Amino acid sequence: MDVNAAVAALAAIAGVCTGVIAMLAFRWSERDQARPTRTSLHTDAVLPPGVDTVLSVLRSSAVVLDESDSVVKASSAAYALGLVRGGKLAVEPMLNMARDTRRDGEIRQVELDLPRRGTGRGEALAVSARVAPLGSRLVLLLVEDLTEARRIEAVRRDFVANVSHELKTPTGALSLLSEAVMDASDDPEAVTRFAGRMQIEATRLTNLVQELIDLSRVQNDDPLEDSEPVRVDELVAEAIDRSRHTASTKQITMASGGTADLSVWGSRGQLAAALGNLVENAVNYSPARTRVGIAARRVAAPGGDLIEIAVTDQGIGISEKDRERIFERFYRVDPARSRATGGTGLGLAIVKHVAASHGGEVTVWSTEGQGSTFTLRLPEAGAARNRRSDEDGPDADPDAEGGGGFGSGHGAASTSPTPDLMTEPLPAPEVLP
């Protein structure tokens, strides 16, 4: 009995010891797993609580660096901009800023021009970088892409400079002519001549101001607010009436044709201004005793049928280098001819914005010495309205990119050729005096 009791006691003690050893080993294993390793220092676990969530919703590119300048956390935008490569910050000026901030704890900010990664273009990427300490060992780098803002500012600056120059020319001429009238008060013929010149300059100034107003309106107005089905025949007739006097003076024949009874969906005033500008340009840049044609037709497209309105002339044509810029504000192919005809260089810019706001596009085909064809493509009234009703729903966002349901175009001004409209005669033309 005593031997059996001793054996049982020894077995119990051994069991207790085994349990204690197993428990200690488990605790030790848990402590080892919780202890940060060399690799775990470069994961999200070292970030303070909540920082990861905040960085994920920031619009700026975010990079978190540790004490060894290794990247602990980087947003996808930071990789897209080429800021992070191989787990390291690839921009040396930003890396130096991070080291200085880690040393003294001061917040630093700088604007830099970085080369674009993976493109052959020479233009730089403009960014604003801000570095701040994050806790005791980490540094936070926030980078904002300023490239688009810089481009818009440059466009605005050029626009103001161009407007100032264009306004200065007629106003200066009016000032000089008024002095000439005063000096020639005793010469009725001279007064009449100078007064006629003053009327020309005043008309040019009025046209410039009006086109600036029109350009501002088409950029700011939403064509959906007053959209309606607009008959293409009526737009063509109105555009021809607008240039009838000039065409008659130059003995230019204007002919309209194509498919009848077509309609587009949008703002009647804006569409009439856009087509009127195309016809007016065709007449102004055509030699005397030539022909200007306006043809409309329906073409099939994935997002619904489109209406093409082509304006063809037999004018001076447009060179390849000029075709890339003719839709810029104040750009003129022939400045001397534009001044003779009173052109402001804003007509095609207005056409481009009207086409874009209606979900269409304007394209040009031209050969120097043979003429040009400008084609305005717009969604057909029924297709645009049906697509609009299909896309609008409880979750639809009318301000989203491509919203509005106006076909598949984005308003880009392209240079795709339309040789059939240039070389083939207009079907069933109606010659207008």
DSSP sequence for 90-146: --HHHHHHHHHHHHH---EEEEEEEEPTT-----EEEEEEEEEEETTTEEEEEEEE-
Q: HSE on the CB side for 108, CA within 13 Å?
A: 20
Q: What is the CATH number of the domain that holds 355?
A: 3.30.565.10
Residue 238 lies in a domain: yes
Does 15 or 107 have the greater pLDDT score? 107
Q: Per-residue pLDDT for 340 more than 60?
A: no
Amino acid at 329: R
Mean pLDDT of 80-103: 87
Q: Are 335 and 328 in contact (CB under 8 A)?
A: no
> Same domain, yes or no, for 184 and 310?
no
Share of the chain above pLDDT 90, in %: 17
| Edge-first strand listing for the sheet containing 108-115 | 71-74, 61-65, 138-145, 124-134, 108-115
Does 282 or 399 have the greater pLDDT score? 282
* Number of domains within the chain: 3
Q: Residue 372: which pLDDT band, with cuts at 50, 70 and 90?
A: very high
Residue 345 lies in a domain: yes
Cα torsion through 345, 350, 355, 358, rounded to 10: 170
Task: Let me know if 274 is exposed, middle or buried by CB neighbors in 10 A (0-12, 13-18, 19+).
Answer: buried
pTM over 0.85, yes/no? no
Residue 249 lies in a domain: yes
> Same domain, yes or no, for 312 and 398?
yes
Q: What is the CATH number of the domain that holds 199?
A: 1.10.287.130
Q: Looking at 145, 170, 192, which one is the last position of a domain? A: 145
What pLDDT was estimated at residue 386? 53
Does 278 or 215 have the greater pLDDT score? 278
Q: Looking at 123, 145, 167, which one is the last position of a domain? A: 145
Q: HSE on the CB side for 292, CA within 13 Å?
A: 31
- In this predicted structure, which of 45-54, 102-111, 146-155, 186-195 has the lowest mean pLDDT? 45-54
Share of the chain above pLDDT 70, in %: 70
Residue 23 lies in a domain: no
C-alpha 416: how far from its chain's center? 20
State residue 147 phi and psi, 5-degree precision. -60, -50
Residue 116 lies in a domain: yes
Containing 255, the helix (H) or strand (E) segment is: strand 253-258
Q: Per-residue pLDDT for 394 more than 60?
A: no
Range of the domain at 207: 147-220
> Same domain, yes or no, for 260 and 325?
yes
Q: Looking at 200, 220, 240, which one is the last position of a domain? A: 220
Q: Per-residue pLDDT for 96 more than 70?
A: yes
Q: Per-residue pLDDT for 69 more than 80?
A: yes
What pLDDT was estimated at residue 304? 82
What pLDDT was estimated at residue 120? 46
Q: What is the CATH number of the domain that holds 56?
A: 3.30.450.20
> Same domain, yes or no, for 258 and 383?
yes
What pLDDT was estimated at residue 270? 87
Q: What is the Cα Rg of the chain in Å? A: 35
Residue 16 lies in a domain: no
Q: Residue 126: which pLDDT band, with cuts at 50, 70 and 90?
A: confident
What pLDDT was estimated at residue 8? 66
Residue 20 lies in a domain: no
Mean pLDDT of 410-432: 39
> Same domain, yes or no, for 216 and 231?
no
What pLDDT was estimated at residue 18? 66
What pLDDT was estimated at residue 413? 40
The conformation of residue 298, written as its DSSP 8-state character, comes to: E
In Å, what is the CA distance from 157 to each residue of 9, 161, 234, 327, 357? 96, 6, 38, 18, 24
> Same domain, yes or no, for 268 and 339?
yes
> Same domain, yes or no, for 127 and 181?
no
Q: Which two tokens stand for residue 335?
A: 């400045």
> Same domain, yes or no, for 189 and 127?
no
> Same domain, yes or no, for 132 and 268?
no
Q: Per-residue pLDDT for 35 more than 80?
A: no
Q: Residue 29: which pLDDT band, with cuts at 50, 70 and 90?
A: low
What pLDDT was estimated at residue 283? 92
What pLDDT was estimated at residue 5? 65
Beta strands in 267-351 (DSSP E): 291-299, 306-312
Cβ-based neighbour number of residue 37 at 10 Å: 10
> Same domain, yes or no, for 103 and 172?
no
Rounded to whole angstroms, how far apart are CA atoms 397 and 394? 9
Does 324 or 269 have the greater pLDDT score? 269
- To which residue do tokens 């800021």 refer? 83
- In this predicted structure, which of 238-242, 256-260, 402-406 has the lowest mean pLDDT? 402-406
- In this predicted structure, which of 96-105, 107-116, 376-385 has the lowest mean pLDDT? 376-385
State residue 359 phi and psi, 5-degree precision. 75, 20
Mean pLDDT of 194-206: 86
Cα torsion through 204, 210, 216, 217, rounded to 10: -150
Does 73 or 32 have the greater pLDDT score? 73
Rounded to whole angstroms, how far apart are CA atoms 406 and 265? 8
Amino acid at 388: R
Cα torsion through 407, 413, 416, 421, rounded to 10: 80
> Same domain, yes or no, for 141 and 269?
no
**Average pLDDT of every residue of the chain:** 75
> Same domain, yes or no, for 239 and 380?
yes
Residue 36 lies in a domain: no
**Of residues 311, 308, 285, the one with CA closest to residue 297:** 308
> CA torsion sign, 78 to 82 to 86 to 89?
negative
Does 19 or 69 have the greater pLDDT score? 69
**Of residues 347, 379, 374, 375, the one with CA closest to residue 360:** 379
Q: Are 337 and 236 in contact (CB under 8 A)?
A: no
